[in-house]
């Protein structure tokens, strides 16, 4: 287990997560604010899942993605990520299956990830990049204590993005 919250825990992804992960990543509404912006095929999900699992054993891995599941029944809720991005920042990310939207799981996931990053890993700050029109994720980040740093046009994604940042309290 990577971290736990009152209702959730994060763990390594396994091949047993393929069907649930594909359900999430084949949902156009879930994927509309991701860099793919489109639903993924089962084969694409399997390729991504295999790649993510392979990274766990790499000593220089800087791209961690974990399964997030409910404590009560181990139902797959989504994924969360902690990566070192191209700017050298520790960046978080998360995705929830649509059937779990509106239940507070996104916020709980981020709060657990924050605690893990700051308390267990000793990181000083976390960044979160979000499409400006992804109002649900903007609300989650703001409720989790992230501060808007700037809004800009993302040339690569061809959209407006916001950068949020949270610092560890000393």
Q: What domains lie within the chain, and their CATH numbers?
A: 3-124 (3.40.630.30)
pLDDT tens for 27-81 read 999 998 887 678 999 999 999 999 999 999 999 999 999 999 999 999 999 999 9
Q: What is the pTM of this model?
A: 0.93
The answer to whether the CB of 161 falls within 8 A of the CB of 151 is yes
Condensed to tens digits (0 to 9), the pLDDT of residues 145-170 reads: 999 999 989 887 777 899 999 999 74
Closest CA to 30 of 133, 99, 127: 99
pLDDT at 154: 84
Which residue in 95, 32, 102 sits closest to 66, CA to CA? 95
pLDDT of residue 150: 95
- Contacts (Cβ under 8 Å, ≥6 apart) of 119: none
**Which of 48, 7, 45, 2 lies closest to 26 in space, CA to CA?**
45
Asked whether residue 18 carries a pLDDT value surpassing 60, the answer given is yes
């Amino acid at each position: 287990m990577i971290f736990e919250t009152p209702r959730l825990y994060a763990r390594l992804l396994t091949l047993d997560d393929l069907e649930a992960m594909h359900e999430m990543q084949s949902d156009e509404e879930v994927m509309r604010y991701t860099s793919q912006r489109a639903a993924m095929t089962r084969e694409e999900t399997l390729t991504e899942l295999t790649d993510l699992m392979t990274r766990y054993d790499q000593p220089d891995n800087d791209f961690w993605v974990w399964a997030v599941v409910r404590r009560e029944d181990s139902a797959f809720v989504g994924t969360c990520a902690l990566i070192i991005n191209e700017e050298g920042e520790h960046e978080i990310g998360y995705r929830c299956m649509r059937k779990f939207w509106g239940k507070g799981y996104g916020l709980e996931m981020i709060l657990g990830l924050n605690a893990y990053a700051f308390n267990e890993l000793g990181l000083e700050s976390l960044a979160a990049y979000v499409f400006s029109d992804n109002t649900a994720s903007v609300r989650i980040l703001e409720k989790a204590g992230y501060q808007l740093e700037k809004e800009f046009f993302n040339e690569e994604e061809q959209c407006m993005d916001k950068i949020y940042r949270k610092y560890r309290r000393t």
